[in-house]
């Protein structure tokens, strides 16, 4: 066929060429003829077997997870497992078979349609977005029904390079397709700040959101060129397209070689301001990469991986060994250990001890730890013990009040006294708070005095300020880190931290975006924490900036509501 070009929005930068693999929307072209009464037991058994196979697949995905994928993908594996484990999910399908005499596929489709309709009627954008999880779970069960007892297999592209074209993609599916040679993603439902997009960026996979017409324009097996920077999908690219891609890849390779030389470079602006670049981590692979690329330290070490492997996070000795190994691996550079942060889109109900679905506005972060003081004390003791092996900082997530701060710090002091009495060595451990909700930003002057340092979690701060879930496609346009209200809270927190002489580190996707580096330096940030893969690109950007010139200009642009112009300049 002739060359076909479609426009879309790039959400993860880059360009790649591969063979299209189409995952068509779940339209359930099923036969709805009623089954005979004597066939009902067999159809019920088919459904139960398919749910069991789907659940076993999720267990296998969880078992395979390693490195930086463990947290991003594990959250969704846990959420999908919860749905499959819910008795009402199977009962709804059973009802269609028993009461309406539908076959297994038709009953599954009917139940899916009913659930999706119910979710779409919910006003709350976060809860409404969970409807996508339902569709992904049902798709897994539907595939298991069609396969029967056969093991799942994926067709491999002849070229070994796959461009996945789908309505949406779950993080565990990205991981699975990586084993088959995934080089780019084209989806019709996602957002710039979704978990799938963030994972694609971390894995350096170009990703583009296109319109539904992509399913008509691209056929399974077509050669496809994805240019996420230009917002283009080209099926059957011509010789000129391929020539441009090769030249671009050569330029990218040259840039990568140049950046590699910055691993040991001093991260300073042209006028001499030192900018400290920290790394977010949760696995030894992240820490090894962070140290190799010259990170100042670990600005945020996620501890949720322990709770994925052990229902209670493991005993004190298990946690201590994990934290100690992280500290030793950084070779004397500071490691910021964040206490348990689950809830909302960060874990499942079993972690929170609620037994129900996690809530974005419920028992999560520091609230959860304070509600389980024994488990909290176990984690704190393990962290304090690890501080004997190198510099450690403890960071509390989702702090909302001074009362929480006081209670949490009292538990730390009690644990320290307990270890001192037992003759266990500990180091000096600064205690910090994450500013992730508007309430915390508004009282950040008082929180700065109550803590030794602060960390600003931009992802959650944007969500809570704008009431816009970054994973909900319906409100994707509302999720805006440069919204004047968000920037006002960020600026307020910066000013309060500066007056209290407290270090403030920016964590989250905003810190990892080199287009935002000039804005952040101009606002006054000197400490940024990001995925290790982003360190060199952000460092390169810092070296070209003049902090003094930026300060006056950025504050003026922010006050005028024109901060976005800085990102547009960086993208030129």
Give yes or no: 415 in active site.
Answer: no
Active-site residue (options: 195, 283, 483, 531): 195
Cα 140 versus chain centre, distance: 22
Residues 6 or more apart in contact with residue 494 via CB below 8 angstroms: 504, 523, 524, 525
Active-site residue (options: 94, 111, 507, 531): 507
DSSP 310: S
Cα 339 versus chain centre, distance: 18
Give yes or no: 507 in active site.
Answer: yes
Angle between helices 171-178 and 69-85 (to 10 degrees): 120
Q: Are 193 and 482 in contact (CB under 8 A)?
A: no
How far apart CA 101 and CA 155 sit, in angstroms, is 34
Q: Which two three-digit tokens encode residue 130?
A: 């969970």
Give the number of other CB atoms < 10 A from CB of residue 74.
23
Q: Which long-range contacts (CB under 8 A, 24 or more apart) does 501-506 make?
A: 502/448, 502/451, 502/452, 502/453, 502/454, 503/453, 503/454, 503/527, 504/453, 504/454, 504/455, 504/456, 505/278, 505/299, 505/453, 505/454, 505/455, 505/456, 505/529, 506/455, 506/456, 506/458
Q: Are 214 and 233 in contact (CB under 8 A)?
A: yes
How far apart CA 325 and CA 452 sit, in angstroms, is 24
Catalytic residues: 195, 507
């Amino acid at each position: 066929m002739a060359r076909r070009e479609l426009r879309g929005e790039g959400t993860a930068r880059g360009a790649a060429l591969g063979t299209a693999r189409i995952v068509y929307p779940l339209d359930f072209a099923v036969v709805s003829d009623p089954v005979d009464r004597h066939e009902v037991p067999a159809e019920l058994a088919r459904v139960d077997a398919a749910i069991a196979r789907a659940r076993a697949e999720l267990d296998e995905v969880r078992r395979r997870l390693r490195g930086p994928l463990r947290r991003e993908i594990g959250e969704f594996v846990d959420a999908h497992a919860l749905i499959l484990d819910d008795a009402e999910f199977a009962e709804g399908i059973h009802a269609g078979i028993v009461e309406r005499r539908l076959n297994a596929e038709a009953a599954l489709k009917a139940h899916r349609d009913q659930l999706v309709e119910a979710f779409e009627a919910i006003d709350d954008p976060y809860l409404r977005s969970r409807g996508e999880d339902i569709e992904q779970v049902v798709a897994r069960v539907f595939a298991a029904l069609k396969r029967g007892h056969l093991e799942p297999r994926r067709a491999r592209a002849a070229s070994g390079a796959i461009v996945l074209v789908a309505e949406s993609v779950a993080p565990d599916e990205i991981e699975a397709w990586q084993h088959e040679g995934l080089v780019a993603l084209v989806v019709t439902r996602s957002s710039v700040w979704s978990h799938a997009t963030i994972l694609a960026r971390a894995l350096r996979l170009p990703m583009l959101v296109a319109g539904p017409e992509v399913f008509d324009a691209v056929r399974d097996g077509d050669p496809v060129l994805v240019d996420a920077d230009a917002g283009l999908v080209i099926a059957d690219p011509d010789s000129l397209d391929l020539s441009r891609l090769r030249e671009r890849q050569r330029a990218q390779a040259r840039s990568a070689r140049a950046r590699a030389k910055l691993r040991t470079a001093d991260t300073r602006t042209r006028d001499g301001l030192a900018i400290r670049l920290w790394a977010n981590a949760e696995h030894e692979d992240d820490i090894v990469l962070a140290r190799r690329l010259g990170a100042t330290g670990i600005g945020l070490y996620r501890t949720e991986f322990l709770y994925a492997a052990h229902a209670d996070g493991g005993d004190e000795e298990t946690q201590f060994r994990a934290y100690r190994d992280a500290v030793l691996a950084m070779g004397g550079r500071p490691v910021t250990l964040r206490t348990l942060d689950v809830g909302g889109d960060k874990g499942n109900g079993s972690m929170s001890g609620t037994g129900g679905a996690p809530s974005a506005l419920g028992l999560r972060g520091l609230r959860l730890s304070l509600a389980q003081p024994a488990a909290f004390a176990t984690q704190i003791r393990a962290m304090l013990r690890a501080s004997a092996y190198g510099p450690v900082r403890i960071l509390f997530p989702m702090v909302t009040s001074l009362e929480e701060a006081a209670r949490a710090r009292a538990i730390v002091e009690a644990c320290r006294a307990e270890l001192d009495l037992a003759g266990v060595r500990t180091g000096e451990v600064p205690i910090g708070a994450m500013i992730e909700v508007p309430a915390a930003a508004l009282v950040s002057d008082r929180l700065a005095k109550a803590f030794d340092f602060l960390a600003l979690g931009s992802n959650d701060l944007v969500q809570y300020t704008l009431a816009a879930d970054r994973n909900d496609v319906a409100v994707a346009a509302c999720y805006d880190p440069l919204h004047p209200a968000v920037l006002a809270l960020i600026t307020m927190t910066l000013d309060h931290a500066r007056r209290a002489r407290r270090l403030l580190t920016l964590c989250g996707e905003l810190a990892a975006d080199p287009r935002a580096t000039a804005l952040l330096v101009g606002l006054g940030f000197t400490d940024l924490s990001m995925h290790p893969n982003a360190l060199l690109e952000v460092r390169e950007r810092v070296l070209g900036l003049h902090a003094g010139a930026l300060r006056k200009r950025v504050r003026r642009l922010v006050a005028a509501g024109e901060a976005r112009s800085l990102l547009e300049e960086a993208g030129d």
